[in-house]
Each structure stands twice: as C-alpha cells, then as structure tokens.
C-alpha cells in the first residue's frame, strides 16, 4: 500500500539517537494535505512521538494547506482525533 503513494509523498522521521517515528504526507489538491502513514516504534508508543509528528506537520504546513486529512489506520485505537483545520475549530 505504501508503495502506491510514497513516490509522490514526503516522508519525515523523528530521530533522537535512532528513529522513533515516521510519517508520510501527500498533497491531495484543493488545499488538502493527507497524512497517509504514521508509525511509532513500539518502545516509544504512548510517549508523545505521534503527537510530536503531527505538531511538526501543522507547524511546517500552516499557511500552505487548509486541511490536514488523515487517511491512516482503520483501528479505533490508532487515533482519537486526526482531522485538523488550521486556523479554525474542527466541526
């Protein structure tokens, strides 16, 4: 599945004495940036690494996109929230 979008996406790594997390985002057009993939090393899950990655994306892409759309994970435990509208309150 990752092979289908990796070539047109941008991958980011959270490194601190080794890779702790990674994510891939794609430009979906119309002001939409999609988070296609995010993964955190098991030993670092629940320690804020995933949140740090999303916070980084928001800081990096604010002003360039109006919506961060999450197209990752079909498990309810994957994320409790992940639709962010920059400058607006999510509806």
Which tens digits make up the pLDDT trace of 5-24?
667 789 999 999 999 999 99
Residue 5 CB neighbour total at 10 angstroms: 15
* 70 and 83 Cβ atoms separated by less than 8 Å: yes
Binning the chain into helix, strand and coil, the percentages to the nearest 5 are: 20, 40, 40
pTM: 0.74
- Bridge partners, residue 40, by sequence: 21
H-helix or E-strand spanning residue 21: strand 19-29
pLDDT beneath 70, residues of the chain: 1-3, 5-6, 72-91
- Local structure of 75: helix, strand or coil: coil
């Amino acid at each position: 599945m990752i092979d289908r979008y990796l070539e047109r996406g941008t991958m980011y790594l959270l490194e601190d004495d080794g890779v702790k997390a990674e994510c891939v985002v794609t430009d979906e057009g119309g002001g939409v940036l999609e988070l296609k993939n995010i993964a955190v090393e098991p030993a670092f899950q629940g320690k804020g690494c995933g949140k740090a990655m999303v916070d980084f994306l928001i800081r990096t892409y604010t002003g360039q996109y109006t919506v961060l759309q999450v197209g990752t994970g079909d498990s309810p435990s994957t994320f409790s929230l992940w639709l962010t509208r920059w400058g607006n309150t999510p509806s």
